[in-house]
């Protein structure tokens, strides 16, 4: 099975993120693979370990994205495509268009990726890509079974329960982080990653002109980022539960107007 | 509720001694000032939290097999203090004197190692040269064949060397100092050092001004910035140093192994993780970020030494700051022009092993207002007087 | 003249609250609104949509639409957009909305803004505010090209006003075949008759501190007694202590109730991102250093097994 | 994270191609005294913030050039030739 895993390199959201004049401050930020995409890499590796085939990573962005791709290769992915692209103001629509171009003429059975990227938290790109490629989509899967080269059964976390969906390949599938626990890179994996093929493309290699890139190729734009008013720690109650709980509830009712 | 290891105190408006930096060196200085000299009206001020800097980021390797007489005696005192520290501080420091290998991969490095062994033995420090079959006996998984790019030609073996739990050292010094009345103030940032007529008057912090007659700077990588406040320029360049820890692995490595040619050192903790360190990054930087390049080169070099480790996985990597001196020896020094100001820095990649002796001698220097013989060679202005203490040949890895 | 098409969502044949929030929002902004109603045995809900201000209601009522199906729903929404001449499509940011929003947008050849918490509308010029970076930041966005605006709006971002049903002007949509490459076989429903997480005004959630299924079951009755939805952290769901449908967080349901009670939840970043929109947060945890206390308005440092019975007593007192 | 350094001759290259040499300082006059030369050889500003420094394109064109770089992050540095430093002043 040939699987393409689009991954996104994002600021590590576990650390402090700063904003200056409406923009995210990149200095001092450490960049990581978006955690849902790591889950997708792990899922793809498990599939190819069972059925054979290769996992190809796809990253779009500046030079630093090659580090994210190499980390994915160190986990065990077989090769990578890096679209070297410095255009900051690109929305999900624009990225999906670039990805659709990358897919042109390529051989793949499955496009597997995270349900959303950890920086935008938008969750739009994969489904848009599916539409542009006229492929079926299943988003937010928490399990897969009945793996075969032409299809599989997917378990999607829906609003009213787990939807069980049979799908014929090729298709676009996005993963929930409950799917698996991504593996860590081994020493050998880290070393071998340097020797794995990395194809570097520019948008012009893909036949894309300025009108399809950046803000011009996007449908939406971010005007500014802001730090939301952060929640402050409120009142703390320490001591015996038979005293602290009634005290807290009394305050909840009188101050916060709790009604049950 | 867990027992607090040290207490929070209101900041007093004056102390006898203010120590800047709450790492192993600052806390050890405070501890020995209180214990050995009865000076307890001390504040240790730390911009982040205890052990945030190099003390919490090093690979906790201890040894005393240095190259110069000054270095060997100093680190030997440090190692001996470490040997009794767990008992003295009533804290399990998990000190394991498992023996320390420095591998040689060339004739030149074997010559340097042989010289070191001779110097060490002359000063009573246990060091010997081992040949490859002897190394193989103690490290069965090591590759001593001539296949690697840098075949192993021998090693300097130093039986008293070993590893310790670095956090425990920091915490126990903090607790020991706290119990003797020292105040530890975390999240306190120094903004200026007040000097009048060539004498220290106090320290201005983000939490107010503290009056004092003696200030000790123990801030390692940030020393140039602190010393600028009293008009002293140091021979330091701050570089990051990266390290990593693997996931648990069967108990397998029972010694510390260092290869300066391959730029690596590693040891195994009691939990089974391999703690691995590298040389410093090749350009100065004040950021503590880890890089993929480090991971890649480390993996390649590690597998040259120990092919068996190919499946071991990396759990975490991090970086710390190193204040590198030109001669790879520390600076522990009074300052002629500023009475009451003491510098403790230049710990580069060799600081953690030196912290007990560093604290011991710094405390003595502060208490007696004169430089102890043990550290007479480590003055800050030795460079411009051409009195270097060359320890570059004894650094763990060729930086 | 802007015109909004609201994609209605139902559960067990009844409209869900977030859909009503969207119609109330359109009404408060004096926008002309229509809606599209898709499902099995849902036609009866058209009148309530009309009562909430929906002009025409485009209805697709078919047994084959019982379980969500991307391909069929996309075709139906696109059909309704075409017939209504809507200039905006509003969806909720439920799992259905998250799946459908980008597909509908791409089908119509336009972009989308998802998971919006604040909308400013001037004709079809829209400025939207939405959380990002695990809610560490918010971003203000807008559409840059002409054409249809596709937006999904977070549940609870706006209030639903009270309204009673009115006779609806319905238009039946023809039922599409759907994509033959996808077969939606079944839905595994774990429980019913429980309050939906994203509709509740009170949520009681449990974390790893409960120690297991038994611990979770120990807390659960309290949710019933308080009229609250029952939530859980990812750790609890992945360990199989509670079904996944209870999961609160960026990966599960994002909630913003009036009151959020966290029992034995330490507060991993993705959990905090999924509940920090709550108006009041109450945390009960043994570990005084747990990150959840940093966001809690009321933090009780203590044992949840001792605290829950006291909670139950106090709640009973309030009720009487 | 590593970064790309801008060589005034070759353009942006991976920083691993270059050697950091030293922070830039005015060289003392040839007849300066021992102390002045000692200070020049050993003492450093070691600045936390923007400093001017010498770099060498080791695996490239072998040029020596100056870089103005913020030592707390490596983004937005400026590279230029020594002669342009003179012009700046």
Quickly state the pLDDT bin for A259 (edges 50, 70, 90): confident
pLDDT of residue A152: 97
- Indicate whether C115 belongs to any domain: yes
Contact C103 A127 (CB under 8 A): yes
pLDDT of residue C95: 93
ipTM of the complex: 0.82
pLDDT of residue B386: 80
Identify all chain C residues contacting A227, using CB atoms and an 8 Å cutoff.
136-138
Kindly state whether B191 is in contact with chain A, defined as any CB-CB distance less than 8 angstroms.
no
For A66, residues 6+ apart whose C-beta sits below 8 A from its C-beta are A59, A82, A198, A200
Kindly state whether C312 is in contact with chain A, defined as any CB-CB distance less than 8 angstroms.
no
Neighbours of C277 (CB within 10 A): 20
Same domain assignment for residues C97 and C133: yes
- Indicate whether A225 belongs to any domain: no
Mutate to test the interface with D, among B189, B234, B284 (most CBs of D within 10 A): B284
Same domain assignment for residues C53 and C112: yes
Low-confidence ranges of chain B (pLDDT < 70): 1-3, 396-399
Of residues C317, C211, C194, C188, the one with CA closest to residue C264: C211
Structure tokens at B352: 């953690």
Same domain assignment for residues B131 and B150: yes
Domain closes at, from B305, B324, B343:
B324
For D23, residues 6+ apart whose C-beta sits below 8 A from its C-beta are B237, B284, D44, D45, D46, D47, D51, D52, D53, D54
Contact B284 D46 (CB under 8 A): yes
Domain that holds residue B299: 97-160+237-324
Closest Cα in chain D, distance from residue B238 (Å): 7
Same domain assignment for residues B253 and B347: no
Mutate to test the interface with D, among B380, B381, B384 (most CBs of D within 10 A): B384
Kindly state whether D72 is in contact with chain B, defined as any CB-CB distance less than 8 angstroms.
yes
Domain positions in chain D are: 4-88
Same domain assignment for residues C165 and C246: no
> Is residue A242 pLDDT above 50, yes or no?
yes
Same domain assignment for residues C296 and C205: yes
Where does D4-88 sit in CATH, by number? 3.30.2270.10
Closest Cα in chain A, distance from residue B110 (Å): 29
Q: Please give the helix or strand (H or E) that residue B72 lies within, else none.
A: helix B69-89
> Is residue C285 pLDDT above 60, yes or no?
yes
Tens of pLDDT along A128-181? 999 999 999 999 999 999 999 999 999 999 988 899 999 999 999 999 988 999
Touch between chain D and chain C: 3 or more Cβ pairs under 8 Å: no
Kindly state whether B295 is in contact with chain D, defined as any CB-CB distance less than 8 angstroms.
no
Of residues C136, C137, C87, C91, the one with CA closest to residue C114: C91
- Name the A residues in 100-159 with CB < 8 Å from any C CB: 115-116, 118-128, 130-132, 136-140, 142, 153, 155-159
> Is residue C113 pLDDT above 70, yes or no?
yes
Same domain assignment for residues C215 and C112: no
When divided into structural domains, chain A yields a total of 1
Tens of pLDDT along C7-51? 999 998 899 999 999 999 999 999 999 999 999 999 999 999 999
Residue with tokens 């706006």, as numbered in its chain: C158
Domain that holds residue A121: 3-212
Closest Cα in chain A, distance from residue D73 (Å): 6
Closest Cα in chain D, distance from residue A48 (Å): 31
Tens of pLDDT along C308-318? 999 999 999 88
Helix H segments across C85-232? Answer: 95-107, 213-226
- Largest Cα–Cα separation, chain A: 70
Closest Cα in chain A, distance from residue B293 (Å): 9
How far is Cα A198 from Cα A66, in angstroms, rounded to an integer? 9
Structure tokens at C196: 């939906």
Low-confidence ranges of chain D (pLDDT < 50): 1
DSSP string, B306-344: -GGGGG-BEEEEEEEEEEE-TTS--EEEE-SSSBTEEEE
Kindly state whether B238 is in contact with chain D, defined as any CB-CB distance less than 8 angstroms.
yes
Kindly state whether A15 is in contact with chain B, defined as any CB-CB distance less than 8 angstroms.
no
pLDDT of residue C193: 66
Mutate to test the interface with A, among C11, C133, C153, C268 (most CBs of A within 10 A): C133
> Touching D: which chains, 3+ CB pairs < 8 A?
A, B
Kindly state whether A247 is in contact with chain B, defined as any CB-CB distance less than 8 angstroms.
no
Chain C residue at shortest CA distance from A91: C111
DSSP B103: E
Please tell me the number of Cα atoms within 13 Å of C23 on its side-chain side: 27
Kindly state whether D36 is in contact with chain B, defined as any CB-CB distance less than 8 angstroms.
no
Q: How large is the angle between the packed helices B24-37 and B355-368, nearest 10 degrees?
A: 50
Mutate to test the interface with C, among A121, A164, A170 (most CBs of C within 10 A): A121
Same domain assignment for residues C164 and C205: no
Closest Cα in chain A, distance from residue D77 (Å): 12
Neighbours of B237 (CB within 10 A): 22
When divided into structural domains, chain B yields a total of 2
- Indicate whether A112 belongs to any domain: yes
Same domain assignment for residues C32 and C148: yes
Closest Cα in chain D, distance from residue B123 (Å): 30
Contact C138 A228 (CB under 8 A): yes
- Indicate whether A144 belongs to any domain: yes
How far is Cα B89 from Cα B92, in angstroms, rounded to an integer? 9
For B398, residues 6+ apart whose C-beta sits below 8 A from its C-beta are B260, B261, B263, B279
Of residues A184, A169, A185, A183, the one with CA closest to residue A137: A169
- Nearest-CB residue to A67 (from B292, B309, B314): B292
Same domain assignment for residues B244 and B148: yes
**Which whole number is the average pLDDT over C192-203?**
81
When divided into structural domains, chain C yields a total of 2
Contact B384 D74 (CB under 8 A): no
Mean residue pLDDT of chain C comes to 93
- Name the C residues in 95-124 with CB < 8 Å from any A CB: 95-96, 98-99, 101-103, 105-107, 110-115
Tens of pLDDT along C296-310? 999 999 999 999 999
**Backbone dihedral angles phi then psi of residue C272, each to the nearest 5 degrees:** -60, -40
Mutate to test the interface with A, among B262, B303, B310 (most CBs of A within 10 A): B310
Kindly state whether B300 is in contact with chain A, defined as any CB-CB distance less than 8 angstroms.
yes
Domain that holds residue C97: 3-172
Kindly state whether D75 is in contact with chain A, defined as any CB-CB distance less than 8 angstroms.
yes
Same domain assignment for residues C27 and C160: yes
> Is residue C191 pLDDT above 70, yes or no?
no
pLDDT of residue B171: 95
Identify all chain B residues contacting A183, using CB atoms and an 8 Å cutoff.
313
pLDDT of residue C192: 59
CATH of the domain at A37: 3.40.50.620
Chain C residue at shortest CA distance from A35: C270
Same domain assignment for residues B217 and B117: no
- Indicate whether A22 belongs to any domain: yes
Closest Cα in chain D, distance from residue B220 (Å): 12
pLDDT of residue B2: 43
**Backbone dihedral angles phi then psi of residue C116, each to the nearest 5 degrees:** -80, 140
Same domain assignment for residues B209 and B319: no
Same domain assignment for residues C258 and C113: no
- Indicate whether B138 belongs to any domain: yes
Chain A residue at shortest CA distance from B291: A67
Closest Cα in chain D, distance from residue A31 (Å): 8
- Indicate whether B81 belongs to any domain: no
CATH of the domain at C125: 3.40.50.620
Chain B residue at shortest CA distance from A66: B292
């Amino acid at each position: 099975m040939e699987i393409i895993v689009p991954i996104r390199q994002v600021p590590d959201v576990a650390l402090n993120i700063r904003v200056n004049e409406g923009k995210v401050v990149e200095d001092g930020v450490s960049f990581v693979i978006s955690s849902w995409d790591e889950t997708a890499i792990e899922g793809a590796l498990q599939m190819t370990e069972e059925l054979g085939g290769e996992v190809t990573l796809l990253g779009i962005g500046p030079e630093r994205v090659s580090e994210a791709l190499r980390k994915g290769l160190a986990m065990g992915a077989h090769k990578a495509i890096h679209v070297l692209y410095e255009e900051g103001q690109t929305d999900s629509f624009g990225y999906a268009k670039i990805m659709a171009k990358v897919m042109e003429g390529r051989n793949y059975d499955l496009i597997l990726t995270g349900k959303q990227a950890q920086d935008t938290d938008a969750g739009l790109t994969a489904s848009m890509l599916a539409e542009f490629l006229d492929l079926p989509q299943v988003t937010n899967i928490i399990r897969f079974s009945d793996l075969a080269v032409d299809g599989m059964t997917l378990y999607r976390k829906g609003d009213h329960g787990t939807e069980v969906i049979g799908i014929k390949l090729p298709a676009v599938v996005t993963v929930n982080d409950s799917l698996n626990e991504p593996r860590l890179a081994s020493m050998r994996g880290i070393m071998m990653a340097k020797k794995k093929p990395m194809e570097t493309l520019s948008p012009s290699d893909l036949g894309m002109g300025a009108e399809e890139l950046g803000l011009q190729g996007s449908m939406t734009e971010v005007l500014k980022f802001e730090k939301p008013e952060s929640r402050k720690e409120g009142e703390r109650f320490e001591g015996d539960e038979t005293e602290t709980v009634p005290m807290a509830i009394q305050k909840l009712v009188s101050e916060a107007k709790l009604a049950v | 509720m867990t027992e607090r290891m040290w207490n929070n105190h209101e900041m007093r408006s004056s102390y006898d001694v203010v120590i800047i930096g709450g790492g192993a060196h600052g806390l050890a200085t405070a501890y020995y000032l209180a214990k050995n000299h009865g000076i307890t009206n001390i504040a240790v001020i730390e911009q982040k939290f205890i052990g945030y800097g190099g003390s919490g980021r090093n690979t906790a390797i201890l040894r005393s097999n240095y190259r110069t007489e000054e270095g060997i005696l100093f680190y030997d005192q440090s190692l001996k203090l470490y040997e009794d520290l767990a008992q003295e501080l009533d804290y399990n420091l998990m000190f394991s004197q498992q023996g320390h290998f420095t591998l040689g991969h060339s004739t030149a490095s074997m010559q340097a190692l042989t010289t070191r062994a001779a110097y060490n033995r002359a000063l009573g420090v246990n060091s010997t040269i081992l040949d490859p079959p002897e190394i193989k006996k103690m490290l069965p998984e090591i590759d001593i064949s001539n296949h690697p790019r840098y075949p192993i030609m021998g090693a300097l073996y130093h039986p008293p060397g070993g590893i310790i739990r670095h956090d425990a050292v920091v915490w126990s010094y903090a607790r020991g100092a706290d119990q003797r009345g020292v105040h530890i103030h975390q999240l306190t940032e120094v903004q200026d050092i007040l000097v009048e007529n060539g004498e220290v008057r106090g320290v201005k912090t983000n939490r107010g001004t503290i009056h004092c007659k003696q200030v000790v700077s123990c801030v390692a990588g940030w020393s140039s910035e602190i010393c600028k406040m009293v008009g002293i320029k140091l021979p330091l360049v701050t570089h990051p140093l990266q390290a990593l820890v693997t996931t648990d692995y069967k108990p397998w490595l029972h010694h510390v192994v260092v290869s300066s040619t391959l730029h690596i050192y590693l040891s195994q903790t009691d939990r089974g993780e391999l703690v691995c360190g590298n040389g410093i990054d090749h350009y100065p930087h004040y950021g503590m970020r880890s890089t993929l390049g480090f991971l890649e080169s480390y993996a390649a070099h590690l597998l040259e030494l120990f092919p068996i480790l190919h499946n071991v996985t990396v759990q975490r990597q991090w970086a710390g700051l190193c204040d590198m001196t030109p001669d790879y020896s520390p600076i522990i020094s009074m300052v002629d022009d500023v009475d009451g100001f003491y510098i403790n820095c230049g710990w580069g990649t060799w600081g953690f092993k030196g912290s007990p002796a560093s604290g011991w001698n710094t405390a003595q220097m502060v208490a007696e207002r004169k430089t102890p013989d043990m550290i007479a060679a480590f003055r800050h202005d030795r460079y411009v007087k051409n009195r270097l203490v060359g320890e570059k040949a004894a650094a763990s890895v060729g930086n | 003249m802007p015109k909004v098409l609201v994609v209605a969502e139902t559960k067990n044949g009844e409209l869900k609250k977030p859909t009503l929030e969207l119609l109330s929002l359109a009404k408060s902004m004096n926008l002309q609104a229509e809606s599209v109603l898709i499902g099995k045995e849902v036609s009866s809900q058209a009148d309530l949509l009309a009562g909430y201000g929906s002009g025409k209601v485009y209805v697709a009522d078919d047994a084959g639409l019982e379980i969500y199906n991307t391909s069929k729903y996309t075709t139906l929404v696109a059909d309704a957009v075409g017939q209504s001449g809507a200039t905006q499509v509003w969806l909720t940011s439920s799992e259905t909305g998250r799946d459908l929003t980008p597909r509908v947008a791409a089908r119509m050849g336009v972009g989308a803004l998802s998971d919006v918490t604040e909308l400013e509308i001037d004709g079809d010029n829209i400025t939207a505010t939405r959380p990002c970076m695990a809610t560490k930041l918010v971003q203000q966005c807008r559409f840059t090209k002409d054409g249809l605006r596709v937006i999904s709006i977070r549940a609870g971002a706006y209030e639903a006003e009270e309204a009673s049903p009115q006779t609806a002007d319905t238009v039946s949509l023809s039922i599409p075949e759907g994509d033959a490459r996808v077969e939606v076989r079944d839905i595994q429903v774990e429980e019913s008759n429980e309050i939906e997480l994203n509709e509740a005004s009170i949520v009681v959630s449990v974390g790893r501190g409960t120690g297991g299924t038994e611990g979770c079951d120990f807390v659960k009755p309290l949710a019933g007694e308080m009229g609250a939805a029952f939530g859980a952290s990812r750790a609890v769901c992945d360990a199989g202590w509670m079904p996944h449908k209870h999961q609160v967080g960026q990966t599960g349901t994002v909630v913003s109730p009036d009151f959020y009670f966290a029992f034995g939840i330490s507060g991993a970043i993705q959990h905090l991102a999924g509940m920090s929109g709550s108006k009041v947060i109450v945390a009960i945890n043994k570990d005084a250093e747990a990150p959840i206390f940093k966001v809690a308005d009321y933090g009780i440092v203590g044992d949840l097994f001792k605290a829950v019975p006291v909670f139950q007593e106090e709640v009973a007192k309030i009720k009487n | 994270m590593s970064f790309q350094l801008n060589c005034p001759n070759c353009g942006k290259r991976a920083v691993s191609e270059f050697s950091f040499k030293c922070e830039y300082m005015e060289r003392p006059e040839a007849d300066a005294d021992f102390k002045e030369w000692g200070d020049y050889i050993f003492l450093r500003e070691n600045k936390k913030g923007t400093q001017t420094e010498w770099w060498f394109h080791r695996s490239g064109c072998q040029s020596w050039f100056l870089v103005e770089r913020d030592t707390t992050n490596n983004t937005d540095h400026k590279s230029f030739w020594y002669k342009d430093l003179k012009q700046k002043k």
